[in-house]
Structure 1
Amino acid sequence: MSKQRVGRLARTAARVAFAAMLLGATFLTTAAPAQAETTLRIVLRNDLATIDPVASTATFARNHGFLIYDQLYALDSKGEPQRQMVASEEVSADGRQWRFTLRDGLRFHDGNPVRAADAVASIRRWAQRDVVGRALAAAIGKMEVVDDKTFTIELARPFALVKQALARPTASALFIMPESVAQTPPTEQLTNPVGSGPFIFRRDQWRVGDRAVYARNPDYVPRAEPADGLAGGKIAGVDRIEWMSIPDPATAMGALSSGEIDFWELPPADLIPSLERMRNVRMAAIDPVGSQVWLRINQQQPPFNDPRARQALLHAINQRDVLDAAGVTAEDRVERCNAFFYCGTPLQTDAGVERMELPDLQAGRNLLRQSGYDGRPVVFLDAADLYTNHAATLVLSEAFRSIGVNVDMVTTDFATLTARRNKREPVAQGGWNLFVTVGNVLDGGDPLSSLYLASPCEGGLAGWPCDPKLEELRRAWYQEQDAAKRRALVDDIQRQAYQSLPYIPAGQFRTRAAFRTNLQGIRPTTVPVFWGITKQEN
């Protein structure tokens, strides 16, 4: 995307209502019974590049996971954990002893029953990788299989959010896999994607850069409750899903208009007016709270191993410029959101920036000079196939240059970026300093779930922040049983986050998905899921 296209995005962006934040809002009618041999063709924000939702935190791995796996608990439209694979749980009065029983009828795609041993092995693999899983694992004293349908967790220390943790839906989401598969080290990619969810992955038909194919699981037994958020009955309303690769937006729009595809998750803002004029296309926000642009900073490599250099970047960022470049209209943005846990949520706060003027370029220059920055190139990774990320990277690169940073923008696709960002080597040996990503409220809506807020010093995610005080505050938050006391800790957590800056919020906005009018059952699920959707004849 050129700078000219970035400007055009801002000038021609569609008018979108910045409407109700409630996750329980409903746009469309309830799903009807599926017709025979229906195929749903979808285009998501990026293509399927890897199939392991634990080894990779990329959105494509998570989206793949929701198609083929199931969860022990799942978050409903209010963000509350509900039983999914679990039939019942028993909890001791002090909250330390948990006994879980799986529901009847659970079978993997290879025909084998889902056992408690599979659940325990899946939890253990996930807990080595995910920020929420590590927090839970640190609190667990003992986890044991009782019988084929029952397992127990005994906590050695307080942990107030056990069910919320077991419902983890993003980053390295907790999906249940066969024990033999879950024994794969979390640093290795899975080669056997066997789940128990409503769709079966047809690996023989997967072509990277073309399509990934999923077939309805005829043996899946959904819960009796209606679908609600990510919870409830997962009824496959189509026989086949084809996840298509169409990187060119104009081509994708033409395919949607002609019916060659049915669902487009993230159309660029400058195409929305054209989509709104199509009588056979509807649009709706599947993410009711919105997303944030996040600037991730590598704290292990100079110059940003010095907190003053990270603070300099904060003072250079103008969120309005970022959102303008991405084509976000006034109705579809928060003009400036300083909240690490999102604006428009119960945890919104301005703590840490109460008396700070942002942006302040002179303050940025001063801080950069105080850090001892020597003018070395700063590698800013750029995912050109994600228009919001790319537009933000262009704007932020210019902002950082204006305070004296020697930015070297390295443009690739997102799949390549996700591989390079895991390299801890110095920049001269293929490492990096900065990249932009976009997170939704499930990725970072509270101190436990925020994958890039976690700053454990060892074993963290790409960027590898180290802040023992921030970790102590996060731990106090998720150990506290009293919700009011947890809320009181949020200001302290955010103040510390603004001191250490594991990442920088660079703008909050909403997007709308586009889909054919013959689809029914699209719901505000925050992340795209495709059970409960039916496709009628045109």
Structure 2
Amino acid sequence: MLKTVKLSTLAGLTVALMAIAPATAQQRGGAINVATIGEPPTLDPMVSSTDIVGMISQHIYETLFTFDKDWKTTPLLADGMPTISADGRIYTIKLRPGVTFHDGQAMTSKDVVASLKRWTDLASRGKQIVDNIASIEALDATTVQISLKEPYAPLLALLAFNNSAAVIMPADKLDNPIKDAIGTGPYRVKERKPDQYLQLVRFDAYQSTSGEASGYGGARHQYVDEIRFVPVPDANTRVEGALAGQFTYTDSLPIESYPRLKGSASEPVVLAPFGWPMFVMNNKEGLLSDVRLRKAVQIALKQEDMLAAAFGDQAFYAVNAPMYPKNFLWHTKAGAEPYNVGDPDKAKTLLKEVGYDGQKPLRIVTSRQYEFHYKMAQVAAEYLKLAGFNVAMEVVDWATLVQRIRNPALWEIFVTHSPFLADPALISILSPTASGWWNTPAKIEAVAALNKATTEAERIQLWEKVQSLIFAEAPLVKIGDFNSLSAKSPNLQGFTPSPWPAFWNVSLKP
């Protein structure tokens, strides 16, 4: 049976996380094997914005808030939503009582304050707001107060996000890099064998939130005893493993495997729409620090051909320029004219104006662990060669890519993707410290205005200006919208498709 998550038609929402109820009562016990696209580069979710780290680490660590099925912020470690001062600058957050870390320590405001300060020091999302924070302090053992210099509308969304995440760790375990992966989550780390598996087991002292499960919010039941995340970097190997029933859940499969999955030992799972693939450009140094060369890349590319090569079946992609699709609060066509142009001759003219003679290579870094990334890069390379670029394709494993893009001397373009996020402030390129380093005066002014605005109507108008700048200054190139394909065992009950698959509230048929 095809399981699909569809667009929400409610204003202000992104993908709806559908609650899929199990057909029978869920059983306790058993172990599940989850095939991932590779080895997580770290188990520290603060210092990584990769999906694989977010997917795995959400079982180990928790944040003060998270997102419900409608992508609204909801309490997780916080004991309710915060009290916000009339001027929008002071957030007072009560903590849930009785929460315990995996090492047996009780969580207090001391841990929360220390963790949030580490987050603002190390995490790209935390650095996004650090200059606006006046103080983070404990009022008592169960109360934390965040004081801002100016109102910042996306604060709760940033605190809820699981990439570059504001997770809460014990105050005495905040080394960088971390020595022990200790959080408050429903599962704890038992054993890690690099390139073989990461074994998580039930944390018996876990204190769940109350209420019905909703998206990432509500009750988190620990039905299975053990979760094993198994790195399977080769996409074809993941497909064959899913077909044979080797894995309980298999993440990120090539779209062409969909017909083969039907009737196999695994069921196809489609998340529609999942998000958008993108080419992130190096705005900081090298060739593409010149906006004219970034515009040349933008104009040369034909997104329609790239999407067709990556996904084949039009049921799995849409040639769509806006950063958010229709029926999303943030949907706008503002500035989107330079999309899907595919005009290498016009791009060649820009190269001549700049004086680019092909001596320096345009390095595109991609990985075959996400096969659609690689296929899009292949098509893009041909268009860019026609425009006159000396293209160098560098195909590496995902962990190497994540490391390489931190150094602006090593690349011009890297290929990645993102789900449609609850707030535009969560889009990575808007953080000045995210790889890509887009930080022009116009961008700084436009994003600051978006984040200061206090009403929904104001923020929608200001987002139009930010999107227009994304197209005008080309810090990245959006390729389109796409649906993701994964697979699961028919024995896996209670699973809810989502951008970062979660395995609390799931069970195995007896």
TM-score tier by shorter-chain length is over 0.9
Matches of 1:118 and 1:342, distance apart in 2: 39
Alpha-carbon displacement from aligned partner over 1:237-264 (angstroms, at most 9, x marks no partner) = 2000011123344443343344331101
Aligned equivalent of 2:12: none
Give the counterpart of 1:53 among 38, 45, 65. Answer: 45
The residue correspondences of 1:132-211 to structure 2 (distance < 5 A) are 132-170=125-163, 172-182=164-174, 184=175, 188-202=176-190, 205-211=191-197
Matches of 1:19 and 1:73, distance apart in 2: 24
RMSD: 2.2
Matches of 1:350 and 1:358, distance apart in 2: 15
Q: Does 1:303 align with 2:287?
A: yes
Aligned equivalent of 2:352: 369
Aligned equivalent of 1:115: 108
Query: Does the aligned pair in 2 maintain the 1:142–1:155 contact within 8 Å?
Result: yes
Q: 1:230 to 1:37 in 2, by over 3 A?
A: closer
Larger displacement relative to structure 2 (481-490 or 42-51): 42-51
Aligned equivalent of 2:494: 521
Aligned equivalent of 1:7: none
Alpha-carbon displacement from aligned partner over 1:378-401 (angstroms, at most 9, x marks no partner) = 221121222011111111111111
Q: Which 4+ residue blocks in structure 1 deviate beyond 6 angstroms?
A: 15-18
Relative to the length of structure 1, the TM-score reads 0.88
By how many angstroms is 1:31 displaced?
A: 8.6
Matches of 1:396 and 1:451, distance apart in 2: 22
Matches of 1:339 and 1:16, distance apart in 2: 26
Aligned equivalent of 1:438: 417
By how many angstroms is 1:62 displaced?
A: 1.3
Query: Does the aligned pair in 2 maintain the 1:229–1:524 contact within 8 Å?
Result: no
Aligned equivalent of 1:381: 365
Aligned equivalent of 1:475: 448
Matches of 1:411 and 1:252, distance apart in 2: 19
Matches of 1:483 and 1:462, distance apart in 2: 29
Aligned equivalent of 2:336: 353
Alpha-carbon displacement from aligned partner over 1:348-380 (angstroms, at most 9, x marks no partner) = 222113477712222211112212213121221
SS at match of 2:93: strand
By how many angstroms is 1:517 displaced?
A: 0.9
Q: 1:141 to 1:355 in 2, by over 3 A?
A: closer
- Give the total of aligned pairs: 502
The residue correspondences of 1:235-274 to structure 2 (distance < 5 A) are 235-274=221-260
Larger displacement relative to structure 2 (82-91 or 248-257): 248-257
1:436 aligned partner, one-letter code: V
Query: Does the aligned pair in 1 maintain the 2:367–2:398 contact within 8 Å?
Result: yes
2:425 aligned partner, one-letter code: L
Matches of 2:158 and 2:302, distance apart in 1: 34
Q: 1:99 to 1:446 in 2, by over 3 A?
A: closer
Aligned equivalent of 1:94: 87
Q: 1:250 to 1:418 in 2, by over 3 A?
A: closer
Query: Does the aligned pair in 2 maintain the 1:34–1:238 contact within 8 Å?
Result: no
By how many angstroms is 1:485 displaced?
A: 0.8
Alpha-carbon displacement from aligned partner over 1:395-447 (angstroms, at most 9, x marks no partner) = 1111111101001111211111111111233xxxxx111110111113xx643
SS at match of 2:477: strand
Matches of 1:451 and 1:215, distance apart in 2: 32
Q: Does 1:532 align with 2:505?
A: yes
Q: Does 1:330 align with 2:314?
A: yes
Gaps spanning 5+ residues in structure 2: where?
Answer: 10-14
Matches of 1:24 and 1:57, distance apart in 2: 22
Query: Does the aligned pair in 2 maintain the 1:41–1:261 contact within 8 Å?
Result: yes
Alpha-carbon displacement from aligned partner over 1:40-72 (angstroms, at most 9, x marks no partner) = 111123332321111222222212220101110
Q: 1:362 to 1:122 in 2, by over 3 A?
A: same
Aligned equivalent of 2:462: 489
Q: 1:56 to 1:357 in 2, by over 3 A?
A: closer
Aligned equivalent of 1:71: 63
Query: Does the aligned pair in 1 maintain the 2:19–2:215 contact within 8 Å?
Result: no
Matches of 1:337 and 1:488, distance apart in 2: 20
SS at match of 2:79: strand
Identity across aligned pairs (percent)? 25
SS at match of 2:402: helix
Larger displacement relative to structure 2 (110-119 or 504-513): 504-513
Gaps spanning 5+ residues in structure 1: where?
Answer: 1-14, 426-430
Alpha-carbon displacement from aligned partner over 1:461-515 (angstroms, at most 9, x marks no partner) = 2222231211211111111111001101122111112122221101211012210
SS at match of 1:289: strand
By how many angstroms is 1:156 displaced?
A: 1.9
Give the counterpart of 1:452 among 394, 408, 429. Answer: 429
Matches of 2:293 and 2:173, distance apart in 1: 43
Matches of 2:168 and 2:453, distance apart in 1: 28
Q: Does 1:511 align with 2:484?
A: yes
Matches of 1:138 and 1:31, distance apart in 2: 50
Matches of 1:462 and 1:494, distance apart in 2: 19
Q: 1:356 to 1:330 in 2, by over 3 A?
A: closer
